[in-house]
Structure 1
Amino acid sequence: MERIVADLGRMYQERNEALQEVTRAHHEALLHLSLASDFRDDDTGVHIVRIGYLAEALALMLGEDDKFATMMRKAAPMHDVGKIGIPDEVLKKPGPLTPAEREIMNRHASIGAEILGRSRVALFQLAAEVARTHHERYNGSGYPAGLRGEDIPLSGRIVAVVDYFDALTMRRCYRPAFSDERALEMLTEQRGAMFDPRIVDVFLENAAELIELRDRVNRTQPGFAELVGA
């Protein structure tokens, strides 16, 4: 009986290790897909890595536990994976989008959620939630569902703020980068409109630390191994 119990314990451990390895491989594949999407909109490809670390740090600053913050680091980089399904003539258009083009662009949130939500693994469910909700707006003016206030999951509200700030300070095909100071002003202007006031306040209170984290990611260029690590 003891041998049977020991064998069952070993089989259970081997099963868990195999499942973890499959999950890690799946995660890395989705990150590479996200990177391919990001390269179409950012020629450095570092944006998605920065979003992971910034989301983790901001979650901790908001008082969330380590487990949730770590999940955010791993899930947030996949927020825009759905852009892989958006045509270049829309994604890279140098001028304003027409209403029809904006409708096409907005589909990336639902496309990303569909790609990520096919897995029952908690990490990918969180990533799907982020993809689906990071363009919802606190005042209900966002997409795809027009969610308002705390009806928007915390994960989406966090990524909305860090993505907005980071994107503003990046050079894009249709505009130069804004300074950190101007980006913080623009973030402040959207407090309570686009973004959760509490999350904006915490970001602003810790802006120097978050900017240093962003700059450290730019300097050290951490890869996916570090991003998906324990």
Structure 2
Amino acid sequence: MLASHFADADSAYAPLGPADPAMAQAQLERVTADLGRMYRERNEALRALARAHHEALLRLSIAAEYRDDDTGVHIVRMGFLAEALALALGQQRSWARLLRMAAPMHDIGKIGIPDNVLKKPGPLTPEERAVMNRHAQMGAEILGTSDVPLFRLASEVALSHHERFDGGGYPQGLAGTDIPLSGRIVSVVDYFDALTMDRCYRPAIADDTALEMLRRERGRLFDPVVADAFLNNAAHMVALRDRINEHRPQFSALLDDEALPLIGA
């Protein structure tokens, strides 16, 4: 593609004599226009590549959720609820939108957990729990290190969303605000959403009960500031979840700015 822009370079950009200022200006404008077009085409290609990469990782996340007896709508709820909570905490909309796209990949590491552990209906043994807990590190490794902000944030979420505010979480045993804000947000959203959905080993817990359980865990499992932001906006969060369950948007909605009205923006 780039070669075509310069196929006629000998004629279009031929050297000019000192007495051709008008032609020199016209040639400069042509060069500038071509460079601008090349820059736009490059950026469009990079955006398309990033979108394809993100969609592939989202599909892998959906595969992990299907293995965990969910319809896949959990990851859509995770994205929009995490975004809404970030906004409730006063974060910039650009970062909240990035979190909306990153949060659904929080459990991508479950794709590597054996079914006999992932789908076990009863309590896990200590050995099985150790296997299950590997999914956070595995998720970060799947997402890898990247200079792309979205994938860097997604890797951070995958690694940190099972850390506990009191330091008793995994895999790194981080405590307090040493846990990245993205992980502190996603852990609250994941806790509430997981409680209020049917699981293979129990039915969904009522919203009021789940909110009270979240309240009791503030300062222990969860950052109290983040937990309080969720609790103080519980009516909005529950309504958002219900709209997602009703409309069942596809995961592509997570990538679409037109989805912003779904969170009341």
1:88 aligns with 2:135: no
SS in 2 for 1:137: coil
Letter in 2 for 1:53: F
Shift of 1:202: 0.9
**What is the Cα-based RMSD across aligned positions, in Å?**
0.9
1:202 to 206, 229, 247: 229
Letter in 2 for 1:146: G
Instruction: Work out the number of aligned pairs and report it.
Output: 230
1:110 to 137, 159, 164: 137
Give the structure-2-normalised TM-score: 0.85
- 1:47 counterpart residue number: 74
2:201 to 169, 174, 181: 174
Letter in 2 for 1:9: G
CA distance in structure 1 between the aligned counterparts of 2:69 and 2:240, rounded to whole angstroms: 19
Question: Structure 1, unaligned stretches of length 5 or more?
Answer: none
- Partner deviation per Cα, 1:62-91 (whole Å, 9 max, x = no partner): 000100110011000000000000000000
Shift of 1:2: 2.2
CA distance in structure 2 between the aligned counterparts of 1:110 and 1:55, rounded to whole angstroms: 21
Higher Cα radius of gyration = 2
Question: Structure 2, unaligned stretches of length 5 or more?
Answer: 1-27, 258-265
User: Matches of residues 24-103 of structure 1 in structure 2 within 5 Å?
Assistant: 24-103=51-130
- 1:16 counterpart residue number: 43
CA distance in structure 1 between the aligned counterparts of 2:38 and 2:53, rounded to whole angstroms: 22
1:123 to 142, 150, 155: 150
Shift of 1:215: 0.3
CA distance in structure 2 between the aligned counterparts of 1:224 and 1:105, rounded to whole angstroms: 25
Shift of 1:59: 0.3
CA distance in structure 2 between the aligned counterparts of 1:202 and 1:144, rounded to whole angstroms: 25
Letter in 2 for 1:125: R
CA distance in structure 1 between the aligned counterparts of 2:30 and 2:37, rounded to whole angstroms: 10
Shift of 1:172: 0.8
Letter in 1 for 2:236: E
Greater Cα shift, 95-104 or 114-123:
114-123
CA distance in structure 1 between the aligned counterparts of 2:190 and 2:59, rounded to whole angstroms: 19
Higher relative contact order (CA 8 A, sep 6+): 1
CA distance in structure 2 between the aligned counterparts of 1:100 and 1:228, rounded to whole angstroms: 38
Give the structure-1-normalised TM-score: 0.98
